[in-house]
Structure 1
Amino acid sequence: MISPAGTMMTLILVGLASSGCSMSRIDSAYARMDDREATGAIKPASRAPTESDLAFARNAASDVLTRGDKDASQPWENPETGARGSVTPLAQAYSSEGRTCRDFLASYVNGTSQSWLQGAACKSGQGQWEIHTLKPWQQG
């Protein structure tokens, strides 16, 4: 049985082959064809995450940081809005105002829209990770 992701990938590949376009890398989790776009370009997110979506992303960030696994990611999904993504810690922990902190990156997918969020969390006095920032990713 072919998974929904496998079916989507097959449709994307057939669309690319028939349109004469090529892509050097196709990421099945994010690639989406728009009927108006024969180039396979991905539209940027037009929908901002809801507070409910951000709550699910924050919980996933706290979970993955608590586990502390190297190179780990934690998926998340909001069944209410259909939004989903994953959270991946970045680099090593650092000290800020005497607390251990860590930055992370979260993907945000809602329908055909996709974007990235960046965040930072620090351990509380009880050892739990508290998310301090979660905002649209600014490359820089």
Structure 2
Amino acid sequence: MSRRLSHLALLGLVFGLPFGLGGCATAIPLPSFIAKEDITGSIRPISPLSPSLDAEDWRRAKGAMSVALDPQGNGMPVTWDNPKSGAKGVFRPVGEAKPVDDKVCRSFIADLAGSVPDQSVQGTACRDKSGDWALGQVSPWKKA
């Protein structure tokens, strides 16, 4: 009887073990199915002003833009620079600020230089009720 019991235990182990371990798995990468560049979605530049600006450049540029475009300001150009990257620029407000959809919007021309390729852009930025400025459409601008 004991021999028969051990035989049944062995059979239970042999056939039961695979079912018990069925939840375990090993991942084996298949190189032929893995793309060289993993694209997961659209990549947005750090700065909506220029893809050449890094995060700190954009932080400094946005501060200058906020001062230059402020409707309570003097309407004069405001410069910015980042000594670490060498990027620099100037924002020049164009025209008067205008109310648009519960925001205050103003056009500008910005010149960028330093570590970024020299370029001039024109655009519009709008300030919401919280005081944050957001860029609208920005396009290249050629000096006359």
- TM-score normalised by structure 2 residue count: 0.52
- 1:7 matched residue in structure 2: none
Q: How does 1:43-122 map to 2 (within 5 A)?
A: 49-52=52-55, 53-66=57-70, 68-111=72-115, 113-122=117-126
- 2:127 matched residue in structure 1: 123
- List 4+ stretches of structure 1 deviating above 4 A: none
Whole-angstrom CA distance in 1 between matches of 2:102 and 2:89: 31
Decide whether aligned partners of structure 1 residues 131 and 84 sit closer, same or farther in structure 2, where only a CA change above 3 A counts.
Answer: same
Identity %: 23
Decide whether aligned partners of structure 1 residues 95 and 112 sit closer, same or farther in structure 2, where only a CA change above 3 A counts.
Answer: closer
Q: Deviation of residue 111 (structure 1)?
A: 5.0
- TM-score normalised by structure 1 residue count: 0.53
| Matched length | 92
CA contact (8 A) 1:105 1:119 kept: yes
The structure whose RCO (Cα within 8 Å, separation 6+) is larger is 1
DSSP 3-state at the match of 1:61: helix
DSSP 3-state at the match of 2:70: helix
1:69-102 superposed Cα distances (whole Å, 9 cap, x missing partner): 3440111001221011111111111222132211
Q: Which amino acid aligns with 1:125?
A: K
| Unmatched runs of 5 consecutive residues or more in structure 2 | 1-49
Q: If you compute each CA radius of gyration, which structure gives the higher value, 1 or 2?
A: 2
Q: Deviation of residue 136 (structure 1)?
A: 4.3
